Structure 1
Amino acid sequence: MKKRIFIAFFAVLAFVACKKDKTPESDSSDFTTITSVVPDAILEIRYYGTYNFVGTRIDGYHQPTALLTRRAADSLRAVSDDLKAQGYRIKIYDAYRPQCAVDHFVRWAADIADTAMKRYFYPNVDKSRLFELEYIMEKSGHTRGSTVDLTIFDMRTEKEVDMGGVFDWFGSESHPDCGGDPVTGTYRPNDTITEVQFANRMILRNAMLRHGFKPLDSEWWHFTLRDEPYPDTYFTFPVEQL
C-alpha cells in the first residue's frame, strides 16, 4: 500500500509540473501538431520513450506527437516540400519541449550516479561536466516552440539517411563543422565522418536554411525558426495531440 501511495504521489508531481494553468506560458492556442501540417512526416519522439540519454520517459511528454508554433510548422512544411522534391521525407525526434521536461533533464544531470545510458549517448564525457559543457541547461530554445530536432529519410531506399552520428550524441562528432565547413559545404578529410555523411548533413542544413531556420553550432539535427514568434516565452503545457 505504501509503495502504491509513493508512486501515485510522484505521478501527481509530474502532472502538476506540466499542468495547464491559465498563464501566457500555458497557452497552446498558437501551436499545432506537426503532422497536421506535414502529414507524411515520420515521428520518432525519443523523449516519450526510454531510448534517450535519461533512459526513461521525460516529464511532460503525454503522447508520442510533435508540436510547433503555427509559423514554424508552416516553414517546416516548405522544408518538407523542398526535400521531397529531392527524394526525402523529414523524420522528427523532438520539437516543442515543455519547461518541466527541461527541469527533468536538470534533475537527471545533477544525479551523477545515474549513468545508465552513458555508453549510448555520452561515453566520452564525464557526467559531472554536463552543465559546464552546456549539454544540459536550465532553459532550452525548444521550450519557446519554434525549434525542431530532425533528420531525413530516403524514400528510394526506405531508410534513414546516414548522418555519421546519432541524435543526442554528446560530443564534437555532432557539431555541424565536424568534417568540414558547413557554410561553404567544403568537406575536410578526417577520421570521424565520411564525405557522403557530411554531404547528407548539408542536404538537411541547406533545406532548413532556405526556409527560414537557423542551425545550432553543436548539433547537426537542431534548427530554430529565425523569426520565431515567442523569443522570450518558455511554455509549460504538455506534449499531446492538439
Structure 2
Amino acid sequence: MSRSPCLLLLCLSLALPCMADEAKPGHMVYLRAVDPGIVQDIRYASAHNFTGHPLDGYQAPECLLSVDAAKALARVQTALNAEGYGLKVFDCYRPVRAVADMGRFANEPGDPLKTEFYPRVDKQDFWRLGYVARVSNHSRGNTVDLTLTGPDALPADTWTPSAHPVDCTAPYGQRWHDGALDMGTGFDCFDERAHTDSALINATAKANRQRLNGAMEKEGFSGYSAEWWHFTYSANTQKPDVMDFPITPLAP
C-alpha cells in the first residue's frame, strides 16, 4: 500500500521526510514489550478523543516509542512504583497521517465531543492556541501523552459512543473517570486549566502534576506548558525524522 496523494502533498508542502507504508523502523519498539506494567489507553485508536473518530494510521491501540524513550519511560515507571504510583499512557508515536487527520478535523464542520474536550474553545482556534500542529514530535517517536495512577484514583469508566459527555474541567468525581489520579482536567482538555502551571486547579491536582513532572524530568523528559500530559524525551543527540508507518497489532 502506498501513501495517499493528500498525505504526499502534505509532506512535500512541509518539506517533511515522510515514510511510505512499511514495517516499523528498527529503532521503534512496542512499549508493551519493554514494560507491560505501564497501563495503556490509546485514545486515538478509538472514537473517545476530541475528533470523535479513530485517527488515520491507528490500526491497533498500541504505544510505540523509540528504544531509548521506551527504556527511559520504563525507568520512570519503576521509580513511581517504588512510591506506590504508576503510569498510564494515552498516546505515543503518532503517524504523520494522523496529524493530518487532526488538521482536517480542525478545518471541517462538526463538533461531536466538544462538550467534553473543548467546551470553551472554538476548534477554528486550535492552531493558534497550539492544540494541533502541522508537525508533531509524536511523529518522531520520542513524545508521549500520559497520566499518573495511584491508590486514590477512581476506577476507570467504560466509554461507549452513547456515553453522556462531561466537561473535562469538571470536578474530579464528576468528569470522565480515566482510572488516573486527579490531574486537574482530563486528557486532551483544550482549556487553560490544562496548562501545566495553571493556578485554577486544586492543591491535590497540583501535587500530582508535580510528582509526574519530577519523575519524568529525572529520566530526560521535558514537558509542554499548554498540556500537563505531554512529554518529549529530550536526551536524543539528534532530532529524529517524522514517520508515517501505521500502528499495527503487536505480533504474538
So what's the TM-score if we normalise by structure 1? 0.82
Cα pair 1:213 1:225 within 8 Å, conserved:
yes
CA RMSD of aligned residues (A): 2.2
- Take 1:90 and 1:166, find their aligned partners in 2: how far apart are those partners? 15
Per mean C-alpha deviation after superposition, the further-off stretch among 153-162 and 77-86 is 153-162
Cα deviation, 1:196-227, whole Å, max 9, x if unaligned, reads 11001111110000111011111111100112
CA drift at 1:240: 2.0
Is contact 2:223-2:231 (8 Å) kept? yes
Q: Which moved more, 1:229-238 or 1:150-159?
A: 150-159
1:19 and 1:238 in contact (8 A); partners too: no
- Counterpart CA distance in 1 for 2:217 and 2:41 is 23
Correspondent of 1:164 among 184, 197, 202: 184
Question: In the alignment, is residue 58 of structure 1 matched against residue 65 of structure 2?
Answer: no
Deviates more, 1:231-240 or 1:204-213: 231-240
CA contact (8 A) 1:89 1:155 kept: no
Alpha-carbon distance change, 234 to 90 in structure 1, aligned in 2, over 3 angstroms: same
- Which of structures 1 and 2 has the bigger CA Rg? 1
Corresponding residue for residue 220 of structure 1: 228
Deviation digits for residues 67-98 of structure 1 (CA, Å, limit 9, x no counterpart) = 00001001001100010011012101000000
Q: How does 1:82-121 map to 2 (within 5 A)?
A: 82-111=79-108, 113-121=109-117
TM-score by length of 2: 0.79
% identity of equivalent residues: 36
Q: Distance in 1 between matches of 2:218 and 2:99?
A: 29
Match of 1:194 in 2: 202
Contact 1:145 1:230 in 2 (8 A): no
1:41 correspondence with 2:38: yes
Unaligned runs of 5+ in 2: 9-17, 156-178
Check 1:94–1:229 CA distance in 2 against 1; reply closer, same or farther (3 A cut).
farther
Which one of the candidate residues 124, 142, 146 is aligned to 2:142?
Answer: 146
Deviation readout 1:34-81 (Å, 9 max, x if unpaired): 111111111101000111000001100010110000010010011000
For residues 146-173 of structure 1, give each alpha carbon's deviation from its aligned partner in whole angstroms, at most 9, with x where no partner exists.
Answer: 1000011114766521111110011111
Name the aligned partner's letter for residue 66 of structure 2. T
| CA offsets 1:4-48 (integer angstroms, 9 cap, x no match) | xxxxxxxx959x9898446xxx75211111111111111101000
SS in 2 for 1:135: coil
Structure 1, gaps ≥5 residues long: 1-11, 180-191
Aligned residues, how many? 214
Question: Does the 8 Å CA contact 1:33/1:241 hold for their aligned counterparts?
Answer: no
Give the corresponding residue for 1:174.
194
